[in-house]
Structure 1
Amino acid sequence: MTQPQDSAPPSFKRRMAAFLYEGVLLFGVVVVTALIYSPLTNQRHALKGMQGLQAAAFVVVGLYFVWFWSHGGQTLAMKTWHLRLVDRRRLPVGPWRAVSRYLLAYLWFLPALVSVHLMGMGGNGPVVTVALLTGVAAYLLLARLHPNRQFLHDVICGTQLVTQRPMSKTVLKPGVAGVQRAGAEGGDPS
């Protein structure tokens, strides 16, 4: 049994709330990745082997997103905020489309980092911060200007976020109405 989907795209606030919640969850995923990576590579200092750790985190985070997007269309944060990733025809997303969406999602900040690097200011923390904030703001503005408020990586990949309403929990109980919502009379339905 499928859950109902709304035809209107989810609000910008809900997508950003899910984005922030996803960041909190991914913090734990990256920490666990580092805890596994460090002893395996005998990394004793944070800067020693940093590129290897970054590559491992990139792969693990990619596996996290690709798995959840291609197996149900929802990460934990997306479930919490009732969002689902589907293609343009509102069908589930396959693994290759999920991989392309993950890689293209780096459009959020990669152009800003490349431009800072090309200007030779990569070591200047405040310049990098301003460039990242400007790039993310421009990316958000592009989404606001799109007719369906979709992000550029979703437009390119042919994916979209839709609102996924939770299924209502009903149980059959003898009564006048025949069907009552679980817990409608304060009792536990099980």
Structure 2
Amino acid sequence: MTAPVSLAAPSLRRRMASWLYEAFLLFAIGLIAALVFSVAVDMRNAMDARRWLLQGFLVLVFAVYFSYLWSKGQTLPMKTWRIAIVDRHGRRPTQGRALLRYVYCSMWFAAPLAAYAAGRFNLRELAVVAAGWVAFWALLSRFHPQRQFWHDAWAGTRLVDAG
């Protein structure tokens, strides 16, 4: 990866396009990881009591994926949209900082998961809650002095143009 040209934040449109591409990629990674887990523990039903283990396994797989690739500077969707991740000093983040960013990124899913846990919403309503929350969380970056996502500010990272 070449050094970022500027420490300016990429446009919100590019960041969200990368985010959407990442979601499709994570779906594939999660599908493969779930298949491996299901075969390894002989889990034949999604409502199996071990589904909590599967969910924990997927969180771990995604944590490894993100902390490794972010510490290298980019994921594939970030490369596609010419976005890099750096720390406050413009260097690639450490794996620890990347893992911290992964934890803070859970804010993207906090409201939808809380709505799901409440058990009072149907699938369509949950989709509206999720879409509204993602839009709200993305637009909050407009209130950050450098137009960064707030989870980046908290984790000591920033998204920059990769050039």
Distance 1:128 1:147, change over 3 A: same
Question: Partner of 2:9 in structure 1?
Answer: 9
Question: Partner of 2:150 in structure 1?
Answer: 152
**Identity over aligned residues, as a percent?**
40
Aligned residues: 162
Bigger Cα Rg: 1
- How far apart in 1 are the matches of 2:120 and 2:47? 17
Distance 1:123 1:9, change over 3 A: closer
Amino acid at match of 2:18: A
Distance 1:143 1:60, change over 3 A: same
TM (normalized to structure 1)? 0.77
CA deviations over 1:2-48 (Å, ceiling 9, x no partner): 43422321111111111111111111111110111011111011221
- How far apart in 2 are the matches of 1:116 and 1:64? 25
- How far apart in 1 are the matches of 2:131 and 2:114? 14
- How far apart in 1 are the matches of 2:135 and 2:77? 22
CA deviations over 1:48-75 (Å, ceiling 9, x no partner): 12211111111101100000111x2111
Cα RMSD between the aligned structures?
1.9
TM (normalized to structure 2)? 0.89
Residue 78 (structure 2) pairs with residue 74 (structure 1) = no
Of 147-156 and 137-146, deviating more is 137-146
- How far apart in 1 are the matches of 2:60 and 2:13? 28
Gaps of 5+ in 2: none
Larger helix percent: 2
Question: Partner of 1:90 in structure 2?
Answer: 90
- How far apart in 2 are the matches of 1:7 and 1:123? 41
